[in-house]
Amino acid sequence: MPNYNQYANGNTLLTQYYAITHPSLPNYLALFGGDTFGITSDCGKCFVPAANLADQIEASGRTWRAYFQDMPRTCYVGDTLTYVQKHNPFMYFDSIRQNAVRCNRSIVPFGQLDTDRAAGTLPDFIYIMPNSCVSTDDDFSNPDCTLGLADGWLGGVMGPLLDYLNPRAASEPYLIVLTWDEGQGSHSCCGLPAQAGGRVATVLISPLVKSGFQDATPYTHYSLLKTIETAWGLPFLGHAADADNVLITAPWK
């Protein structure tokens, strides 16, 4: 994966970053809600009446939008052949899904990213999710769903995004996080159960992070949530408040 490795080698790679559990969905909920809410499967209708990062972002006066490849329409509930709801944590939170205006504004198909970038209206917080083939996850047994396909898609997204962000970086510094929901094994750290979600390669890209740096501090998805909340002065959700889930601080210049 030459594109991914270029970003990892030229920026900061977190070498001891761990997912919370298996399978996919509980990890997404943990990252954006601070908890798995007792969910242990990739269920389709296990919605939760809980506060989440999107709620906090809006309450702080900031904007957010989530872009999903192959999503049929805004605020879509359900799966298609290539779009899977379990990779869209926002739809599981009642405060988002049940508010039609809010949901249609913020949960959008991937093509909207080009429109927003061209118009100069990218929100403060962006979530980008490829389809199930490109994500190297669900359909990876499909011979068409190769690492090369995923890496090419990543390069195609990152190039225009960095072209947009870098000229503005002096006055509007940014952080891009490249990560996965879960790892291949059940490795654990940081107060998680002995069998957790495995180790995940996570890259931080920003003018504010060290170049060519590898951070071996043990982190979890809760650590990333905690770091976002700290950066924007937001209260900690759920396990982001736990002392075992430390702030990501070593990479910063």
| Residue 139, pLDDT score | 55
pLDDT at 191 over 90: yes
- % the chain with pLDDT above 70: 98
Asked whether residue 7 is assigned to any structural domain, the reply reads yes
Residue range 192-208: mean pLDDT, rounded: 97
Asked whether residue 48 is assigned to any structural domain, the reply reads yes
Beta bridge partners of 17: 200, 219
Question: How does pLDDT run across 115-159, given as a tens digit for each residue?
Answer: 999 999 999 999 999 999 999 875 567 888 999 999 999 999 999
Asked whether residue 249 is assigned to any structural domain, the reply reads no
For the domain that residue 153 is a member of, what is the CATH number? 3.40.720.10
Question: How does pLDDT run across 218-239, given as a tens digit for each residue?
Answer: 999 999 999 999 999 999 999 9
Asked whether residue 250 is assigned to any structural domain, the reply reads no
Q: Report the distance separating Cα 95 and Cα 33, nearest Å.
A: 12
| Residue 143, pLDDT score | 85
Asked whether residue 248 is assigned to any structural domain, the reply reads no
| Residue 142, pLDDT score | 82
Asked whether residue 246 is assigned to any structural domain, the reply reads no
Question: How does pLDDT run across 9-40, given as a tens digit for each residue?
Answer: 999 999 999 999 999 999 999 999 999 999 99
> How many independent structural domains does the chain possess?
1
Instruction: List the domain range (segments joined by +) for residue 217.
Output: 2-241
pLDDT at 211 over 70: yes
Confirm if 69 and 9 have CB atoms less than 8 A apart.
no
Asked whether residue 27 is assigned to any structural domain, the reply reads yes
Asked whether residue 251 is assigned to any structural domain, the reply reads no
| Residue 15, pLDDT score | 98
pTM of the model: 0.97
- Short-list 224, 253, 218, CA closest to 240: 224
Residue range 51-55: mean pLDDT, rounded: 98
Query: What are the residues whose beta carbons fall under 8 Å from the beta carbon of 112, sequence distance 6 or more?
Result: 65, 67
| Residue 140, pLDDT score | 60
